[in-house]
Each structure stands twice: as C-alpha cells, then as structure tokens.
Amino acid sequence: MPRARYKQVVDRLAADIRGGQLIPGTRLPTHRQLARSHGIALATATRVYSELESMGLVSGETGRGTFVRETALPPGLGIDQPASNPDMLDLNFNYPALPGQANLLRKALRELAVAGDMEALLRYQPHAGRQHEQQAVAAHLRDRGIDVQAENVLLVSGAQHGLAITAMALLHPGDVIAVDALTYSGFKVLAETYRLELAPIAAGADGPDLNALRQLCKTRRVRAVYCMPTLHNPLGWVLDLPTREQLATIAREHGLLIIEDAAYAFLADNPPPPLATLAPERTVYISGFSKSVATGLRVGFVAAPSAWVPALERCIRATTWNTPSVMTAIACRWLEDGTVAQLEAQKRDDACQRQAIARRVLAGLPLVAHPASYFVWLPLGEDVRADQVAMALLQQGVSVSTAEPFCTAAQVPHALRLALGSLTLDVLPQALQTVRDVIERHTY
Ligand SMILES: Cc1ncc(COP(=O)(O)O)c(C=O)c1O
C-alpha cells in the first residue's frame, strides 16, 4: 500500500481521538478488523496501531485489545499548559526577556511607589484606560504609522484580551471568519470557545492566497478576516503593500471587518503601512507589550473606529472592568520615557541573533521564518510524524509545539513551531541540536 494512504489511516484515527469522537477508554477494532475495514494488510494494521501507540494515543493490552488513551498531553506540549517542569527547555512558548529587564521593573516599581498617586491606583479606572494612558498609546501607534486619536484607543489585559473583546463586541457565535490555514493558536482557541466558524485560507508564496479569500467571500457570508500582515505567527511573513491593498479592497467589496493582529509587528524593520491605515473604517488593530516588553505585564491595546468603541468598552466592563492600573502606569511610563522603543530595538537584535543560531544549528532543514522573528516553522519530511517527534523531545526535556494548535484546515501538516525567545542564549543551541537529532532519528 502506498505510504501516503497508510499515513491517512493513522491521521484519521489520531484526529478522531484528539477531536473526542473516540473517547478515552474506547476499545478499537482488532488488528484483523482494522485491516479488513480499511482494505489493508494485517501487518500494516499492526503498524498503524504501533504508530498510534508511539504517539501516545492508544495502548495495546495483551489479551484485551487496543484502547484509546487519555490524550491530555504531558505538561509543556499542550498550548494551554506552560512547561511546568523548571528543567524543561521551552521551545513552545515565547516570553522574550532581556537580561536587564528585572532591574528595569524594580526601578519602575520604586519610582511608582515614590511618585505615583497610590490612592488613584487603588480605585476602579475608566474601562478603556486613563486618558493620559490612551494618549501615550495613541502616540506610540502614530509612530507605527496609524493615525489614531486617544479616544479610539482602549487599554486591555494583553492582545489576547483585545481579540476576545473584539469577538464579543463585534461578532456573533456562528459567524464565519476567514483566517490563515495556519494562524495564531490563541485566535483558534477563542473561535472554538466563542463558537465562531473559521474558514481557512491557504497560504500562497508570501502570504494568504487572496484569490481563495475572494472565492470564499463569493460562496459564504464571511463576516470578518483575522490576519497578521506584519510578522505572521507562525510563518513569519510580512505582506507587501500591493497585497495589503488588495486585502483592504476585498474587505471593502464584501463588507468584512478586519481584525489586524500586530503582536509581533515591532520586530519587522520598516514594514508597509498597517491595514488600520489602509482601511481605517473597518479595521480593529490589536497589539500589546507582551513580546516587546514582558508577557507578565498583561497590557495590550486596541485601536478601533469611533462607532465601535462603546461596544468594545462595554466588553471590557463585562470582563475585567479595567486593566490593572499599576501595570498600565508602568507600561505607559516606559512608552513615554523611551524604554519601550529601546527594548523593541534590543529585541529586534536579539531575535536576529536567535534566528542566526537556528539557521546554523538546523542548517539544511526546510525552515520557514522571518530573519528577525522569535520563532521558526519547521515542516517535517513525508515520513516523520510530528507527534512522535514532540513526544520524544519531551522525554529529552525539550518542549515544542506541533502544527495542531495553529492549524485551521482539516489536514494538519506534520511540522513543528519552535519558539526561540524564551531560552537563554547559552542553552538555545543545545536545545535546537536536540531537536535536530530527534528529527533525524525519526526520519526513515
Ligand atoms: C499573534 C499573537 N497575537 C496575540 C497574542 C497574545 O498576546 P498577549 O500576551 O498580549 O495576550 C500572541 C501571543 O503569543 C500572539 O502570538
């Protein structure tokens, strides 16, 4: 039987197990029944089960049969589970931090304690943030080429919160949202929880296939498009100006809301104008300080057309009331005194350095990445199974992500996403070398 067909049987069973159609404890057909039902040789059926077993999805019990295992992935592998083992080398999540940043925080907290209005910080704040903070973020956005007024800016508890309030305020469960076939995993989780239907757009050479988006808009009632034009996570693309203009045109022709996620945009040197500039009347622009400053701050921001601001504010009220003002005070002070700009520049250099390490250690492998990004996408060969590689890496103390959390299409590619931003520079090469070794060991 051709290898591709054999892999399909493994993939289909794996998808049914992960998707919950085959629940833990289910007894699977005998090897002989599986062979018969799929028209495959008995030896091939045995191999299908042994692959599923090595992926950690089933267990064979002598004399009893093959059973679906509990699929809760070990800590560190699931997108929602941080690597809980402190010895785990984390190539799964990105929390880039530079060596001097803890001292910056110490200094900022001391200054806030001395000069801040402590009484005010103890109180509720306006939902969208205090006015001078909205002004500070608006000035920051103007530096990025977005002509926005302070009253169109809302401070939120991280970009993920910005995405969530956008969904709550402007979308309805059941709405069809066009997304990249590989997209930011947090948006996929949000769509699942809020019951949005994600319609995947295949990738072209350096961005989404816009003809596929046009076609989709003709056949379905698409409400919005979620995109990352500047430094796409996980593929690293930066859309050129003509592509952005076309995207804006399609959105206008079909009345689409554009959700522009710019979480990593600061890493791209001199990108074309954001969609929020090209189609300001229909774009909600969302970003934050997680990657440029620190993930623990939980400060992000949303810029939106005036008509949508009240609904967005109401959703902040419904979720957090306001973003904690101790944190917004620190973030905005760092905006105003140039610390954010300085950290952004240092992190651009840091990301370039990490990419160079990845390109050296993983040379010869088909990496997909922007030269200044904090992650790489690593498609695996025809014969290599991503789950097996991820599981084997975990056993070696390295956590990575497979394509699954990022994939919105039916067919999940066998690939890894490696986050380069979290490990210290002295251990990063070794962790990447382990990835390389394990992949090579799993290549037949
Ligand atoms: C593309 C993208 N958008 C949004 C977020 C969420 O960021 P935050 O930590 O600000 O909620 C992330 C985090 O990794 C991201 O990669």
- What CATH class is the domain 115-337? alpha beta
- Reduce the DSSP state of residue 434 to 3 states and report it: helix
Q: Which of 79, 137, 154, 160 to mutate to test the pocket of ligand 1 (most atoms within 8 A of CB)?
A: 160
| 261 touches 163 (CB < 8 A) | yes
* Cβ neighbours of residue 95 closer than 8 Å, sequence gap 6 or more: 290, 294, 295, 296, 421, 422
The pLDDT assigned to 72 comes to 52
Residue 330 near ligand 1, beta carbon < 6 Å: no
Average pLDDT (41-66) is: 84
The pLDDT assigned to 82 comes to 46
What percent of the chain lies above the pLDDT cut of 70? Answer: 95
State whether the Cα torsion 432-443-17-5 is positive or negative. positive
Instruction: Report pLDDT digits (tens) over 313-341.
Output: 999 999 999 999 999 999 999 999 999 99
Phi/psi of residue 386, each to 5°? -60, -40
Instruction: Report pLDDT digits (tens) over 72-105.
Output: 544 444 445 544 456 789 999 999 989 888 899 9
Q: Does an H or E element contain 264, and which?
A: none
- Reduce the DSSP state of residue 258 to 3 states and report it: strand
* Cβ neighbours of residue 120 closer than 8 Å, sequence gap 6 or more: 325
Nearest alpha-carbon partner for 386 in 5, 19, 46, 7: 7
| Domain ranges across the chain | 3-68, 89-94+341-441, 115-337
d(CA 106, CA 294): 14
Q: Tell me the pTM.
A: 0.85
CA of 332 to the centre of ligand 1 (A): 19
The pLDDT assigned to 148 comes to 97
Residue 222 has pLDDT above 50, yes or no: yes
Helix-strand-coil split of the chain, %, nearest 5: 45, 15, 40
Instruction: Report pLDDT digits (tens) over 139-170.
Output: 999 999 999 999 999 999 999 999 999 999 99
Report the CATH fold assignment for 3-68: Arc Repressor Mutant, subunit A (1.10.10)
| 58 touches 51 (CB < 8 A) | no
d(CA 163, CA 259): 8
Q: Distance from first CA to last CA of the chain, Å, rounded?
A: 17
The pLDDT assigned to 381 comes to 84
What is 89-94+341-441's CATH number?
Answer: 3.90.1150.10
d(CA 225, CA 259): 6
The pLDDT assigned to 50 comes to 87
Task: Round the average pLDDT of the chain to a whole number and report it.
Answer: 92
Residue 300 near ligand 1, beta carbon < 6 Å: yes
Shortest-distance Cα residue to atom 13 of ligand 1: 263
CA angle 346, 349, 354 (to 5 degrees): 125
The pLDDT assigned to 252 comes to 98
* Cβ neighbours of residue 317 closer than 8 Å, sequence gap 6 or more: 127
Average pLDDT (207-220) is: 97
* Burial of residue 370 (number of CB atoms within 10 Å: 0-12, 13-18, 19+): buried
d(CA 84, CA 91): 13
d(CA 252, CA 65): 57
CA of 174 to the centre of ligand 1 (A): 24
For residue 324, give the amino acid letter: P
| 47 touches 91 (CB < 8 A) | no
CA of 197 to the centre of ligand 1 (A): 20
Residue 302 near ligand 1, beta carbon < 6 Å: no
Residue 172 has pLDDT above 90, yes or no: yes
Q: Which of 166, 227, 232, 290 to mutate to test the pocket of ligand 1 (most atoms within 8 A of CB)?
A: 290
d(CA 328, CA 337): 14
CATH fold match for the domains 89-94+341-441 and 115-337? no
The pLDDT assigned to 75 comes to 41
Instruction: Report pLDDT digits (tens) over 35-50.
Output: 999 999 999 999 999 8
* Cβ neighbours of residue 314 closer than 8 Å, sequence gap 6 or more: 127, 169
Dump strand ranges (E) for 75-136: 89-90
Residues paired with residue 180 on neighbouring β-strands, in sequence order: 201
